[in-house]
Amino acid sequence: MQQRPTFHNGYILGISFISALGGYLFGFDFAVISGALPFLRTVFHLTDWWEGFLTGSLALGCMAGCVLAGGLADKYGRRAGLMIAALLFACSSLGMAFSQSLPAFIATRAAAGIGVGMASMLSPLYIAEVSPAAVRGRNVAINQLTIVLGILITNLVNYLLAAKGPEVWRWMFGLGTVPSSLFLLGVWWLPESPRWLMKVGRKAEALKVLGKIGDANFVSRTSEDISASLKESPTVKLREILSGAARPAVIVGITLAVFQQFCGINVVFNYTSTIFRSIGASLDHQLLETISIGIVNFIFTLVAMWQVDRLGRKPLMLLGSAGLAIVYIALALALQGNAGAGIVSICVLAAIALYATSLAPVTWVLISEIFPTGIRGKATSVAVVSLWGAYFILAFTFPVLASHLGAFGPFYLYAGICGLGFLFIRSRVKETKGKTLEEIETSLMHH
Cα separations in angstroms, 123 against 127, 196, 414: 6, 14, 28
Per-residue confidence at 98, pLDDT binned at 50, 70, 90?
very high
Report which of residues 100 and 134 the model is more confident about.
Answer: 100
Would the pLDDT of 288 be above 80? no
The contacts of residue 237 (CB under 8 Å, 6+ apart) are none
Please report, for the chain, the start and end positions of each structural domain, with discontinuous segments joined by +.
Answer: 9-446
Q: What is the pLDDT of residue 102?
A: 92
Mean pLDDT check: name the lowest of 40-44, 226-230, 243-247: 243-247
Alpha helices in 131-271 (DSSP H): 133-161, 169-174, 177-189, 194-199, 203-213, 216-232, 247-262, 265-270
Range with top average pLDDT, 236-250, 269-283, 409-423: 409-423
DSSP annotation of 271 reads: T
Q: Across residues 265-278, what is the average pLDDT? A: 80
Query: Looking at residue 7, what is its pLDDT?
Result: 74
pLDDT tier, 3 (very low <50, low <70, confident <90, very high otherwise): low
pLDDT at 281: 66
Please choose, from the candidates 153, 440, 101, the residue with its C-alpha nearest in 3D space to the C-alpha of residue 291. Answer: 153
In this structure, are residues 227 and 219 in contact, taking their beta carbons and an 8 Å threshold? Answer: no
State whether the Cα torsion 292-60-388-302 is positive or negative.
negative
Q: pLDDT at residue 68 above 90?
A: no
- pLDDT of 306 reads 83
Q: Which of 17-26, 270-279, 416-425 is the least confident region?
A: 270-279
Angle at 295 between CA 293 and CA 301, to 5 degrees: 100
pLDDT tens per residue, range 204-244: 888 898 888 888 888 888 888 778 767 665 555 656 666 66
Note the pLDDT tens digit of each residue in 313-363.
899 999 999 999 999 999 999 988 887 778 888 998 999 999 999 998 889
Q: For every residue of 336-374, which 3-state class applies, written as one string?
A: HCCCCHHHHHHHHHHHHHHHHHCHHHHHHHHHHHCCCHH
Tell me: the pLDDT tens digits for 4-16? 677 777 888 888 8
Mean pLDDT for the stretch of residues 254-264: 94
Please tell me the predicted confidence (pLDDT) of residue 234.
Answer: 55
Q: What percent of the chain has pLDDT over 90?
A: 24
Identify the pLDDT of residue 1.
42
pLDDT of residue 276: 80
Cα–Cα distance, 387 to 415 (Å, whole number): 19
Strand (E) or helix (H) holding 124: helix 102-130
| Mean of all residue pLDDT scores within the chain | 84
Prediction pTM value: 0.75
Q: What is the DSSP string of 234-260?
A: ----GGGTTSGGGHHHHHHHHHHHHHH
Calculate what percentage of the chain has a pLDDT beyond 70: 91
Quick one: average pLDDT of 179-197?
Answer: 89
CATH code for the domain defined by 9-446: 1.20.1250.20
